[in-house]
Chains A and B, each alone.
Chain A
Amino acid sequence: MTVETVLPGVRDNTKPARATGPSPWRPVVLGLLLPVSLAVGWEIAVQAGWAEGRLLPPPSRIAQTLWSLSEGGELLVHIGATLWRVAVGFLIGAVAGIAAGAAAGYSRIFRELVDPTIQGLRAIPSLAWVPLFILWLGIFEESKVALIAVGVFFPVYLGVTASVLGVDRKIVEVGRIFRLKGFALVRRILVPAILPNVVLALRTGLGLGWMFVVAAEIMGAAEGLGYLLVDGQQLGKPDQIVAAILVFAVIGKITDALIVAASTPFLRWQDSYGAGN
């Protein structure tokens, strides 16, 4: 009785405190304050003639460049070429990373046989592969995709291995008590248990995929956002370089958000935890 009459009072005390808490927009507004005022300041400085803006073009010039690039459909071609390389490389690297990582996490003998080699290969800076890939696969798409796939593979492999090894033995026993074995145990216990970490590993992998597509395209491509960077450098067009960088940032963010969105329905149980706090 007394317990029940005390509880609502406690709850009442916390409610107003929450309502007066910081607005959810606060971090967005504060976070944007610095870059937006720098951009506006630079624009004003160049417009007013205080600065030349030749090496670092003001926002209006970059917007103009973006507009003229997209008008003729040229920008879309470059975006398409880059996206295609990242997509194929990511797919190959992610599938291979998940398969090898799951095998290494699940099977001790596989881990003992294969993991030292993979760790050894991982010690090689990925860009060191480029000459070999070009000799093996030529200078066109294949060698670029291979480099991206290598970049994606290692973080995915590491993340998946660690998450399989980290699955709580106590949870696995729940599956065993209900007589789950082999594939059923994998499907109903292991996969859902590792999913949050696999998503994290895929996002890290994708980030590296974007990093390596830039490297691959800078080293020689006839199209792609990386080509725009090199072209801008060789022809002295910093506005084109900055425009390409911005497009990289936006598309990289979008693809990352796509992974998050695709995994959200399966990770709702985690969100509820975050929401509860």
Chain B
Amino acid sequence: MKGYSSTNIDDFRGVWVFCEQRQGQLSETNFELISEGRKLADELGVELVGLLLGDDIKHRANELGGYGADRVLVCESPMLKEYTTDAYTKVVCDVVKERKPEILLFGATSIGRDLAPRCAARLHTGLTADCTHLDVDVRKYLEYLRKNSTLKVEEESFDMEDRNLKMTRPAFGGHLMATIICPRFRPCMSTVRPGVMKKASYDEEKARSVIVESLTVSLSQDDIRTKVLEVVKETRKMVDLVGSEVIVAVGRGISSDVERGIELAEQLADALGGVIGASRAVVDEGWLPTDHQVGQTGKTVRPKIYIALGISGAIQHQAGMQDAECIIAVNKNEAAPIFETADYGICGDLFSIVPLMIEQAKAQRS
């Protein structure tokens, strides 16, 4: 694009969300991002745009409107059916250079985290990874700090007119939180952790009135340097940790009888209408598949009830579950750090306590 420069900040306007489709389906992450994008767009007084790439995908655009998008830009080509880094990077960067959004959000998924850095490098702008909180309005940011940090907010000075996107994320394995800004370049880009932003309620009226715009895509087979030989979907049903209200998670504490430990957790989850989560130790041992892992390198969850059985509560685990409404911990070590985050703790052997919990849960339900 002639004359495009990422430093001409005033040329850039609008909040964009890259909307990810797989096999023509939109995942929940898109709706979380659109909902969050809506808030940012309102704070800035600008349009919220969904950018949707795929093949024969236009009919999905209204759904994005329903969660808050004002406009959906659709880029369709058979070469965009499966995700490839090269094709998607080219199309996203071409549209960004033409239309110049000030903010561009991606889901921090295996696609978003492949695509966003490549685009940021090409567009010469900054990118913040795996954000868990976003603000434009300084007042809202200060409110967030008061609640979620040990900073003495009143003793520091802030520019109340600052319109930069403030992107907050855990760093150093969750030991620290950092707020990152990208003041000199646009668009300001970030990937956002799935499961963290709240999805808005669906608005039929907005879904009908969203502006859907098809763009011409300039792409040739030579642009794509990788070949997707096959896409293999896990045949086992994946656990829906993020969408579940009750999670019963197991840790290395089940090691003396792994089978029995998992069976007990399953029974308790069944009795409470929940699903099974796990610490990384359990996944590393191969006792449960990766999709069960909660934490920094696993999923971020915020269920109503999180029950941690035999989990020590390492900071990396806490990073994924500390925002649960009610945390219950069963651990035989009184000094386990999990008791510092738990709302209710029971010190004891999970193999004798969980059967009692199952009994109680069943009694209450009936």
Task: State yes or no: do A and B come from one complex.
Answer: no
